[in-house]
Amino acid sequence: MSDNVIIRAQNVQKTYNTGKVIVQALRGVDLEVKQGEMVTIMGPSGCGKTTLLNTLSGLDAIDEGVIEIGGRNLAKMGDKERTAYRAANMGFVFQFYNLLPVLTAVENVEMPLLLDYTRRIKAKEARRLAHEALAAVGLKQQADQRPTELSGGQQQRVTIARALVNKPAIVWADEPTGDLDSKTSQEIMDLMRRLNQENGQTFVIVTHSLEIGEQCDRIVWMKDGMVVSEPQQQHTAVPASGHSNGSNGYTNGHSSLQDESTILVPDLQAISHN
């Protein structure tokens, strides 16, 4: 409604057809997020949180409805334009860090800049920006270490630095603290909050943790593929780290992770400056 809405979704519907089963993952989602807002999406495992994030960000196509990001309808763009638009305006942080193991922290972070075909950033400048981003997430000393030489929390900080290195307007995070202990989760949360406040970037964060949800500006509750006005499940017993939903949650997270990891790496190639 108001002019500073950066994410607008109307009647978004998405069905998965595996051949064996048809799953109505999103059944008419309406959502508006304002620029600079930090919102969480919460709800039971399988309710469509990851699907919503992936469709809003243009990773996945929708069957019905309209999604506008910064007033632009991604579905109406050609593939190349959409990839470039997403790369210039969005950063991604996932539960499992999606870092390339053979690269050092600084090499992982600079990759989106180096592979950018529109912006043609010089290697030296990319390296400088990557060091700057690592310093911003508190990893100045770890720049030359490989992911295996870093803790889980440090690896997630590297992915946040990578997501933010080109200063995207929107950061999408799918259970960014799901694999971390509660102290480290809180540190990651504090970091994202600080970046949100300092840079005015919009964050959309999927989480199982009510503790995290309550630190954000707003919680968007989902159930059965729809946004609902109130929590539909007891969440207070869920620890800040990890799933309490057992194999179901893991299976969903894992299957969508595979989709993400195949898309995420080539996608970084096109990151350009806004």
Residues near Mg ion (CB under 5 A): 49-50
**176 near ligand ADP, judged by CB under 6 A:** no
Among Mg ion, ligand ADP, none, what binds residue 16 when CB lies within 5 to 8 Å by partner kind? Answer: ligand ADP
**48 near ligand ADP, judged by CB under 6 A:** yes
Radius of gyration of the chain (CA): 18
Closer to ligand ADP by CB, 88 or 173: give it: 173
User: Greatest CA span in the chain, whole angstroms?
Assistant: 51
Q: Which residue has the tokens 């997020």?
A: 33
Determine the size of the site formed for ligand ADP (CB under 6 A). 14
Lookup: tokens for 108? 């992982």
Residues 26-45 that bind ligand ADP (CB under 6 A): 45
**173 near ligand ADP, judged by CB under 6 A:** no
**23 near ligand ADP, judged by CB under 6 A:** yes
Quote the least distance from Cβ 237 to ligand ADP, whole Å: 18
Q: Which of 10, 198, 167, 183 is nearest to 89 (CA)?
A: 167
Tell me the C-alpha distance between 92 and 164, whole Å.
9
Lookup: tokens for 178? 């799901």
124 CB-contact burial (10 Å; exposed 0-12 / middle 13-18 / buried 19+):
exposed
**177 near ligand ADP, judged by CB under 6 A:** no
Among Mg ion, ligand ADP, none, what binds residue 45 when CB lies within 5 to 8 Å by partner kind? Answer: ligand ADP
Tell me the C-alpha distance between 70 and 89, whole Å.
9
Among ligand ADP, Mg ion, none, what binds residue 25 when CB lies within 5 to 8 Å by partner kind? Answer: ligand ADP
Give the binding site for ligand ADP (CB under 6 A): 16, 18, 23, 25, 45-51, 252, 255-256
